[in-house]
Structure 1
Amino acid sequence: MNVTRIEEAKPYQAPGHFDMRGLRIQGWDVSDTKKVWVGLSHFLPGGGAAGDVSPVEKIYVVLEGTISVTHDDKEVILGPLDSCHIPPNAQRNILNKTNKMVSMLVIMPYPESKK
């Protein structure tokens, strides 16, 4: 079993993100997961990610706050314990339109280059 204490979680930079602080809580250099990794993203007011397209699917689970996620020109607002799935090769935008911080789990498979 691999346990990651939040105090020991390692920060990471996510490409294309702004006013966001990410913590790696499982996978990559933190644990020996084989298929997926898990990050904890904290979006400051006005923070987000614009126009990213990646070859892997993503699952977002909001823990605290509300955040806008746009996919295929359709915007949804996710609140605490709401989740969404973004398919591979799909463009998405994320934006914290509030004045409060948003915390969100990000669950993604590893890219093919990691396997």
Structure 2
Amino acid sequence: MEITRIEDAGGYEAPGHFDMRGLRLQGFDASAALFAWTGLSHFLPGGGAVMDASPLEKIYVVIAGEVTITLDSGEKHTLSRLDSCFIPGGEGRAITNESNHVASMLVIMPYPEGS
């Protein structure tokens, strides 16, 4: 078993994200997990991610605050504490913290091909 203590979690930059701090909890350089990696994203008020579509599936689990997910269709959904969503590969999404509180979200994704 490999444990990542939050005090030891390393930061990472996520392309297209703004006013967000990411911590790697599992996978990549945090553990030997081969099937997926897990990150913890802290979004400041007004922070988020630009509209983007990735070929990779993703799961988001909000653990504090609220985030609004806008799909490329224009559909919007606000997720609160312990709400989660699955975004299929190829579906565009933007993320926004529209509140005045920090929002925290777990991100679970497979590795990009070739990594």
Instruction: Answer whether TM exceeds 0.5 for this pair.
Output: yes
Report sequence identity in percent: 58
Q: Which runs of 4+ in 1 moved over 2 A?
A: none
Distance 2:114 2:65 in 1: 34
Measure the CA separation in 1 of the matches of 2:52 and 2:43: 16
Amino acid at match of 2:94: N
The TM-score, its normalising length taken from structure 2, stands at 0.97
Q: What is the CA deviation profile of residues 55-95 of structure 1, one whole-angstrom value per residue up to 9, with x for unaligned ones?
A: 10110000000110011311000000000011101110000
Once superposed, what is the RMSD of the aligned Cα atoms? Answer: 0.6
Question: Any gaps of 5 or more consecutive residues in structure 2?
Answer: none
Secondary structure at the counterpart of residue 114 of structure 2: helix
Shift of 1:110: 0.4
Q: 1:54: Cα distance to partner?
A: 0.9
Structure 1 unaligned segments of length 5 or more: list them: none
Q: Choose between structure 1 and 2: higher strand proportion.
A: 1
Across the two proteins, how many residue pairs are aligned to each other? Answer: 114
Q: Distance in 2 between matches of 1:44 and 1:29?
A: 25
The corresponding residue for 2:84 is 83
What's the TM-score once normalised by structure 1's chain length?
0.97
* Aligned residue identity for 1:111: P
